[in-house]
């Protein structure tokens, strides 16, 4: 029998860019409408580096929440070569800081303050291994000679595996994985290594971005890969394996900065993320595993309770994609996978 309705515990988003100010006010309601909690990325300008920065950013998010919305921002700190282990520990002990984010210097949007010399963050990583605080990793090398399509696989060999070997016990989220190499590596990493997967990497390959014209709203980092890697992402996500869970990496940029001779990286998926996800799981015949991926595996890794509330998704005629949302920081184009999606959140 074909399923046309699905009720699951409310999902969380384990990788989300909310930005700040007018942009945040515009995009926040779209995440809060569907997700109970989200891991909030710290790549503001300037970045969220100290526990005090995170406390203030959290207050700004809570203030911007629409009346009557229940949404819990889970704060992260941006790891720099000057990060003070004691400050991170105090932030984590107080319950404010849920993870630390590692951006290799220059890897992606607003990552100029990221880490170049890994020896300089050894103290922080060791403290994190002792206390169990997760490290969220943007897994791409930035050496100019490494091809953009190889940067994730090279990162595993050159950076991630060495860090994990020299820091036993470090709990790592390899974020927004895009390759079969990453899915395989994470699968062999035991309980301390997990991965998040985005909507766009489940639905699209690089042909979608480049064949018949360049589609800037599909440009994100890590960049979309070939179809066989997309298939590996779908297999991992729909497997039921608690190693993999949803992190949308919804990353809003104003339309003019995307449709530009040097366009920004990031797909704004938040408003349609759950509809798209249900479509992917339905196509894979894996609707039974959707709740695990969207609502259970993330909390299990982060030591958080599963949400009490439930949401219901219903299958019907293809949904209308919003096109764009208006914000005081300009219009933001909403992700559209370019094919019909039949699931809506009630
Ligand atoms: C993100 C952004 O815009 O902040 N962009 C993206 O393409 N994913 C940064 C990131 O997560 O890499
Ligand atoms: Zn991101």
Every domain of the chain and the residues it spans? 5-345
Right CATH number for 5-345 from 3.30.310.40, 3.20.20.140, 3.40.640.10, 2.40.160.20?
A: 3.20.20.140
* The pLDDT of residue 110: 79
* The pLDDT of residue 108: 77
Q: Is the CB–ligand 1 distance for residue 223 below 6 Å?
A: no
* The pLDDT of residue 113: 84
Whether pTM > 0.95 for this model: the answer is yes
Going from the Cα of 17 to the center of ligand 2, the distance in angstroms, rounded, reads: 6
Q: Is the CB–ligand 1 distance for residue 109 below 6 Å?
A: yes
The residues near 285 (Cβ < 8 Å, ≥ 6 apart) are none
Q: How many angstroms separate the CA atoms of 239 and 184, rounded?
A: 13
Residue 179 token pair: 């390759």
Residue 122 token pair: 């050894």
Which of the following is catalytic: 12, 87, 249, 282? Answer: 249
- Torsion of Cα atoms, 48 then 51 then 55 then 58, to 10°: 40
Ligand number nearest to the C-alpha of 268:
1
Q: Which residue has the tokens 């609707």?
A: 287
Q: Is the CB–ligand 1 distance for residue 220 below 6 Å?
A: yes
Between strands 37-40 and 72-78, the pairing is parallel
pLDDT tens-digit series, residues 73-113? 999 999 999 999 999 999 999 999 999 999 998 877 778 88
Q: Which residue has the tokens 């994985």?
A: 177
Q: How confident is the chain (346 residues) per 10-residue block, as mean pLDDT?
A: 92 98 98 98 97 98 94 98 97 98 86 87 97 97 96 96 96 98 95 98 98 98 98 98 98 98 98 98 98 98 98 98 98 98 98
Nearest ligand 1 atom to the CA of 220 is 7
3-state secondary structure of 13: strand
Nearest ligand 1 atom to the CA of 43 is 4
Ligand number nearest to the C-alpha of 217:
1
* The pLDDT of residue 118: 87
pLDDT tens-digit series, residues 134-161? 999 999 999 999 999 999 999 999 999 9
Going from the Cα of 190 to the center of ligand 2, the distance in angstroms, rounded, reads: 24
Going from the Cα of 180 to the center of ligand 2, the distance in angstroms, rounded, reads: 19
Instruction: Give, in degrees to the nearest 5, the angle at Cα 145 between 143 and 151.
Output: 60
Contact indicator for 100, 76 with CB cutoff of 8 Å: yes
**Residue 41: in which H helix or E strand, if any?**
none
The residues near 43 (Cβ < 8 Å, ≥ 6 apart) are 17, 78, 101, 103, 108, 109, 110, 111
Report the nearest-CA residue for atom 6 of ligand 1.
Answer: 266
């Amino acid at each position: 029998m074909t399923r046309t309705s699905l009720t699951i515990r409310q999902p969380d988003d384990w990788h989300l860019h909310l930005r700040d100010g007018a942009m945040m006010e515009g995009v926040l309601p779209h995440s809060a409408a569907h997700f109970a909690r989200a891991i909030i990325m710290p790549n503001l300008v300037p970045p969220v580096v100290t526990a005090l920065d995170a406390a203030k950013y959290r207050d700004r998010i809570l203030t911007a929440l629409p009346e009557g919305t229940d949404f819990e921002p889970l704060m992260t700190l941006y790891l720099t070569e000057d990060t003070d282990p004691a400050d991170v520990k105090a932030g984590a002990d107080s319950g404010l800081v849920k993870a630390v984010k590692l951006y290799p210097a220059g890897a992606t949007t607003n990552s100029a303050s990221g880490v170049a010399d890994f020896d300089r963050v050894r103290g922080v990583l060791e403290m994190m291994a002792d206390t169990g605080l997760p490290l969220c990793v943007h897994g791409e090398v930035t050496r100019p000679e490494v091809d953009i399509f190889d940067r994730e696989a090279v990162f595993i060999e050159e950076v991630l595996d060495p860090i994990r070997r020299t820091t036993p016990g470090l709990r790592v989220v390899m974020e927004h994985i895009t390759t079969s190499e990453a899915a395989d590596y994470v699968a062999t990493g035991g309980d301390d290594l997990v991965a998040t997967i985005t909507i766009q990497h489940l639905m699209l390959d690089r042909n979608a971005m480049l064949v018949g014209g360049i589609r800037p709203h599909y440009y994100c980092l890590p960049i979309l890969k070939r179809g066989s890697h997309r298939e590996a992402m779908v297999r991992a996500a729909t497997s039921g394996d608690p190693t993999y869970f949803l992190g949308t990496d919804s990353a809003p940029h104003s339309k003019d900065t995307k449709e530009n001779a040097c366009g920004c990286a990031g797909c704004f998926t938040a408003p349609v993320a759950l509809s798209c996800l249900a479509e992917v799981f339905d196509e894979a015949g894996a609707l039974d595993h959707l709740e695990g991926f969207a609502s259970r595996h993330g909390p299990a890794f982060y030591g958080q309770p599963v949400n009490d509330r439930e949401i219901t998704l219903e299958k019907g005629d293809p949904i209308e994609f919003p096109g764009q949302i208006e914000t005081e920081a300009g219009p933001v184009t909403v992700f559209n996978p370019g094919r019909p999606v039949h699931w809506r959140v009630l």
